[in-house]
Structure 1
Amino acid sequence: MRVRLKGEVFCTFVLLIALCTLLYALLRPTQQTSPVTPKKSKVSLPTVKPKTFLESEDSPSESKLLSEVYNAQQTSEEVKPSPTSALTVPPFDFQQYLRNKDYRNFTLLINQPNKCHQPPGESFLLIAVKSIVEDFDRRESVRKTWGRESVINGAKVRRVFLLGTPRNKTAVSMWESLLQQESHYYKDILLWDFLDTFFNLTLKEIHFLSWAEEYCSNVKFVFKGDADVFVNVENLIHFLQSQDPSEDLFVGDIINNAKPIRSRKSKYYIPETMYGLGMYPAYAGGGGFLMSGVTMKKLSKSCNEVELFPIDDVFLGMCLQRINLTPVLHAGFKTFGITKPSAAPHLETFDPCFYRDLMVVHSLKAAEIWLMWNLLHSQQPPCSQRQRIKKPFHWKRKKAKLPIKAVTRVMDKN
């Protein structure tokens, strides 16, 4: 009996040793390769995204579009798994951009060929607003406020919105049919067949200039801006009516001596391999600027001769430099918002008094644009009571003593 028990214990012990050896053999390669796996994922992350983006597109023309690695990096920054991983992911795939930057001709899916040729009269000002498919509320706010198509002080104003295709077509359900209906109703939508991303705004710039040269060659002046700006169109027209439309004009919030940003964390990061100079040419803040029809035609031609640049504002500055035109700074363009005056820090920046004499104010919500426009166009607009008082105020003299003296003189005569 004892021999039998000893045999069973021995067999159990041998099986246990064999099981431990097998587990050790299985776990040993995992422990050796586990510290290497995260490093491989960090290196492969920038290259996997462009492949997924290019393979997901069916059209050969769309396969030449810019990469969406920058948008993927924005999502990864919101999660923030670790400080080191945020540094390893570049904000934009510049190699992919450089390979595809020469593809600049995309199909116009929705056109408004009669926008500037509708009777009566010649178009004085064309308003072009950058927008995206999802922002219907912002477009509607512009249509009902400062972007109305009307005649202001004898000047005919026209309006168009500049759009590309949405990045995530599945997230915007029925976007094509909805946009077609919006275009049919308002007749102000221009849609091109390129993805509407931050680095594709340069494509939107050159395609609009080409469209305006072809379909709005008779327009005298052009205002181009964002959908989140408030524009005092009356002030724009008052300023433009004193300008010669046959001469060059480019006015806005001009930025001089701006240096390229070399920090990889920045949205506007540009490596030295792409732009080696230490200073950008003078350019206008993208919130909004004015130009004459003559300048618009010159810029359309010069943009075809300048290599595409990821930042559209700077790219337009390069085109201005190409035609030897210096942009003009105007104090009425506040493309970086309104700052409180040091002499009156108690005042609120969202005050109609600040907007009365300005032309363009950037970074406003749709509801704020609506409210500000209605306040300035009400029957009794704020800040206007001071202008109505032409003479200084004086207390009126009392005239009650005159009749009393007259009565006493009559009584003395009697």
Structure 2
Amino acid sequence: MASCLCRYRRRIILFCSPCILLLPVCIYVMIAMSYVMKHGDTGGYAGPGTYVSTVSLPLLPDRFIARGLKRSRDLAPHPEKSFWRSELESGALWNIIQYMMDRQRNPILSPNLTIETSSNLERSKSENGCSPNSNIDITMPDFLTLPTQMKNFVRTMHCRDYAIIIDPSDVCNHGPLAKKWAPMLLLAIKTQTANFENREAIRETWGRSGRIKTRDGQLKIVRRVFLLGKSKSRQHEEKLQLESKKYGDILQWEFTDAFFNLTLKDVLFWEWFSRRCPHARFIFKGDDDVFVRTPAVLDYLQAVEANESLSDESKNMESFVIGDVIHNAAPIRTNNTKYFIPESFFKGLYPSYPGGGGVVYSGSLAHRLLEVSQRVHLFPIDDVYLGMCLRRLGVYPVHHPAFLTFDFPKDEPKEPCANHTILLVHKRSPAEMFKLWFETLIPSPECRNATLRVKPRPD
């Protein structure tokens, strides 16, 4: 009996051993067939040396979001904290609105919102709601105590698309030679309808349009345009229409011309510039009560373009902005000044910005400012708003002592040739503009070799 069992056990072992070895292979084949039936074939033969993949794999997202802290020897560590703040510390109205805009336009936090979709969203908001927003009153606890200009701004700050009333189409050349004959300098001057004398003085002095001779005798093309909103005076508006027909340099939009609406002149001008004068190499944007030594500005800009130290000229030109730069400025909380910004509207320090009396930047930067301005909510002070846009672009404005937007320092003795050392000075009346123009146009022998100011502005 024992010998019989031994004989059968040997047979069982001989029979089962191959089955045991083949069992994993059978399981693998079954799994593979199940996968193919579910997902399709992984590939196919398409000719000699050619293999075409037919697997329908899920598409990977363009960007990944860290799901939490992981410690792994094989994987890079995820950050312990989130990339973006989930809550906003400030309760100021502008800060809240800008924070919401940033989150909506963040490609990771809102992956389905493309740039085109986002732009259309903002445009539809503006077009469908450009009447004053009375519901916003309740968002500021001190709204009823605010000055009128602040109330008006808050109620309409969602509007930035306004129709053009007067459009000077011949400021810059058009057609196939537009780039060749583009102005070296485009003067964009903020003014109001009632300031006829200022505009006349500018046209006859530093704001002349055409071929302007530099201090070294070269001829450069300069063009001029005045930026305006609407006034309440019908008489002034009718006179402005006649002025526009005579000079062709009036650019007017359908918004009320007010101090807190100067920011609109910036964003709307950038849009106009991109259509009407896109090839201008430099832009001067300033007030109508400044005096500019235009020939000296042209000399300076010509030197900037010819500077051989600019290894990447296009990149540097896209970031070129110069003026009287103000750093670490805080909002003025005194409500009896026109610059008053309540704490309920904005909290924080202002970014570095060039004073609005006069600033020069490149035409290529203006195109970038137009794009970034769509992502920065309107702010009531135009030069601060420019600083906000520059910061978003990673552009740092350069301070130049020859831009005197606050006039000559009172404690500084004025030398006989002081007016020959500046690029701009603020404020000057029409009569003073004529006087300075004739004084600086043909320098006296002792002032002929005067150089630009290098003394820094006292803090």
Deviations 1:319-360 (A, max 9, x none): 111111000001110000112454x4xx47xx6x21102101
Structural mapping, 1:2-401, within 5 Å? 63-64=131-132, 90-92=146-148, 94=150, 96-117=152-173, 121-151=181-211, 152=213, 153-166=218-231, 168-170=232-234, 173=235, 175-244=236-305, 246=314, 247=317, 248-277=319-348, 279-340=349-410, 342=412, 344=413, 347=414, 353-378=417-442, 381=444, 383-384=446-447
Normalized against structure 2, the TM-score is what? Answer: 0.60
Deviations 1:246-273 (A, max 9, x none): 3220000000000111222222111222
Cα distance change on mapping 1:308 and 1:144 into 2, 3 Å = same
Task: Confirm or deny: 8 A CA contact 2:131 2:156 kept in the other structure.
Answer: no
Between the aligned partners of 1:61 and 1:161, the Cα distance in structure 2 is 28
SS in structure 2 at match of 1:307: coil
Cα distance change on mapping 1:115 and 1:65 into 2, 3 Å = farther
SS in structure 2 at match of 1:98: helix
Deviations 1:261-294 (A, max 9, x none): 12222221112222121x1000111110000011
**1:308 partner letter:** L
- Measure how far apart 1:123 and its partner are: 1.3
- Measure how far apart 1:65 and its partner are: 9.4
Between the aligned partners of 2:392 and 2:155, the Cα distance in structure 1 is 24
Normalized against structure 1, the TM-score is what? Answer: 0.66
Between the aligned partners of 1:305 and 1:233, the Cα distance in structure 2 is 33
- The answer for unaligned runs of 5 or more in structure 1 is 1-59, 67-87, 388-414
- Measure how far apart 1:382 and its partner are: 6.4
- Measure how far apart 1:136 and its partner are: 0.7
RMSD value, Cα: 2.4
SS in structure 1 at match of 2:298: helix
- The answer for unaligned runs of 5 or more in structure 2 is 1-127, 135-143, 306-312, 451-459
Deviations 1:94-113 (A, max 9, x none): 45533321111111010112
Task: Confirm or deny: 8 A CA contact 2:292 2:424 kept in the other structure.
Answer: yes
- Measure how far apart 1:61 and its partner are: 8.6
- Measure how far apart 1:383 and its partner are: 3.4
- Which range moved further: 237-246 or 108-117? 237-246
Between the aligned partners of 1:132 and 1:65, the Cα distance in structure 2 is 26
Q: Percent identity?
A: 38
- Which range moved further: 98-107 or 110-119? 110-119
Task: Confirm or deny: 8 A CA contact 1:376 1:382 kept in the other structure.
Answer: no
- Measure how far apart 1:213 and its partner are: 1.3
Cα distance change on mapping 1:336 and 1:117 into 2, 3 Å = same
